[in-house]
Structure 1
Amino acid sequence: MTYRVCFVCTGNICRSPMAESVFRARVAEAGLEDRVEVDSAGTGGWHEGDPADPRTVSVLEEHGYDGEHVARQFQPSWFARLDLVIALDSGHLKALRRLAPTEEDALKVRLLRSYDPAAGDDLDVPDPYYGHRDGFEECLDMVEVASTGLLAAVQERLEGRAA
């Protein structure tokens, strides 16, 4: 059985494609690519069909990650097939929980930085879109740290499923 994770930000061109790429690499490193499916989307469709922001692509590629991506909008019907919906900030968390068809689906939505024990109360990954390249580097740092904790949680879920 495949475990499905979808990362969601605003337009699906900065934070969520970055998180998707990093987490897909973590899943591959753990040898779980046949058991975990990784995806991303945006709460809005403004950039649907566009590639990731060029700054996202360059930061990802400079750090050894895949930068290929096509933006799309999250659809409420996806909740039925997803195990975990990862929001990049509290605004996305609220929007996704409002979209959730059931209470069970709403419980699938979590903040990415909630998987980073050092994050404290600041669980938002700031949107780097309107800033400079250093904001994209900062975003990548946050995503990488949280992805380690997220992978551990997914592995725990997979082990629980096998039991």
Structure 2
Amino acid sequence: MDMKTRILFVCLGNICRSPAADGIMHRIVEEKGVAGNFEIDSAGTYGGHRGELPDSRMRSAASRRGYALTHRSRQVREEDFERFDMIVAMDDMNYESLNRLAPSREAARKIFRMAEFCRRHPDRTYVPDPYYEGHEGFELVLDMLEDGCEGILESLCQK
């Protein structure tokens, strides 16, 4: 019996927030020595960037923190609801899109908001899209994603 926890991070285009969350979560579980217990991936609700690397501005902001983002963008598929235990949306729009895509009520119960896991950003209800923002937007998103990924791991360890 495979007891891996499978986590899918989701944003709109899968080129900024979700691949960064994917990279951050990979590093956190590696540092804690529990990488073998997890399968981590990311996808977007919009497929227009399919096959692309993450946004170059996100890649450079992430690399300054030691994250190498090499994920190739893909769109969320119905089978993701079967394959993953947790589907983590970056904002309300993607949360709603995922709920519409969910093939069943049971599948919809796997959908969470990233902000639910953020401890150091209690005033924020979603992870903002940095695509149209400057440098600070990317830094804020990375801060929130580090916070949220740590929160996810904490919440899973309490189960």
TM-score by length of 1: 0.92
Q: 1:69-88 residue pairs with structure 2 within 5 A?
A: 69-88=71-90
Task: Name the % identity.
Answer: 39
- 1:134 matched residue in structure 2: 136
- 2:153 matched residue in structure 1: 151
Q: Does the Cα contact within 8 Å between 1:24 and 1:38 map onto a contact in 2?
A: yes
Q: Mind listing any 5+ residue stretches in structure 2 that lack a counterpart? A: none
The one-letter code matched in structure 1 to 2:75 is: Q
Q: Provide, for residues 112-136 of structure 1, a one-character-per-residue CA deviation record: whole Å limited to 9, x for no partner.
A: 1101234436321110001212211
Q: 1:2-81 residue pairs with structure 2 within 5 A?
A: 2-81=4-83
3-state SS, counterpart of residue 131 of structure 2: coil
The one-letter code matched in structure 2 to 1:130 is: Y
The one-letter code matched in structure 2 to 1:75 is: R
Q: Which contiguous aligned blocks of 4+ residues in structure 1 show a shift greater than 6 angstroms?
A: none
The one-letter code matched in structure 2 to 1:77 is: E
Provide the rounded CA distance (Å) in 1 between the counterparts of 2:9 and 2:124. Answer: 18
Q: Provide, for residues 3-27 of structure 1, a one-character-per-residue CA deviation record: whole Å limited to 9, x for no partner.
A: 1000000000000011111111111
Q: Mind listing any 5+ residue stretches in structure 1 that lack a counterpart? A: 158-163
Q: Provide, for residues 31-70 of structure 1, a one-character-per-residue CA deviation record: whole Å limited to 9, x for no partner.
A: 1111101100000101000110001100111101122121
TM-score by length of 2: 0.94
Aligned residues: 157
Matched, 1:124 2:116: no
Please report how far the alpha carbon of residue 82 of structure 1 lies from its aligned counterpart in structure 2 after TM superposition: 0.6
Q: Does the Cα contact within 8 Å between 2:11 and 2:17 map onto a contact in 1?
A: yes
3-state SS, counterpart of residue 31 of structure 1: coil
RMSD: 1.2
**138-147 vs 120-129, which moves further:** 120-129
